[in-house]
Amino acid sequence: MSVHNSESVKSLINEWATRNHTALNAHYAAAKYFSKGHYLIGIPAATLAFVVGSSVFVSLSKDVNTTIKLAVTFASVLSAVLTGLQTFLNYNQRSEKHRLVASKYSAVKREIEQLLTLPEENLKSSKKEIDSLRVKIDNIGQDAPSLPDGFFEKAIKPNGT
């Protein structure tokens, strides 16, 4: 192989590194987003369930104000809605899937970094390692959950904003 070919190989690996880094950041951001969503729905749902459970017996008393009975009823319905949303949206599992994919991309990032430390003449003879790396990246991408709108685009921007 000529020097031009080793430069092409290095350029290809650098391109993969850039794409891999973007995917890694996007999936870590998605994991963080879904984890926050899990807590933003789960904590109020659990709190409301506790409040309703504690106050339902008080509200059944005949001498309790109608406003209190309505408040307990409203809290009960809201708790059920939040619990249903938490189950339906499944933010905890979605967060974990994105975190797992991001950690796989992170492992590939280290592999790319190691490959790029090789002298250029060794890159020419590293076809097996490069093919293996391509297959790993392809497999991670195929198994990855879809990113919410805008996450990949946001990860492309240099400062992530």
CA torsion angle for 109, 110, 115, 118 (degrees, to 10)?
140
**Residue 2: pLDDT above 50?**
no
Tens-digit pLDDT profile for residues 45-60: 999 999 888 887 776 7
The confidence score (pLDDT) of residue 4 equals 46
pLDDT band at residue 1 using 50, 70 and 90 as cut-offs: very low
19 in Cβ contact with 136 (< 8 Å): no
Domain ranges of the chain: 3-156
Provide the 8-state DSSP code for 144: S
- For the ranges 51-65, 89-103, 108-122, the one whose mean pLDDT is highest: 89-103
For the question of whether the overall pTM of this predicted structure is more than 0.85, the answer is no
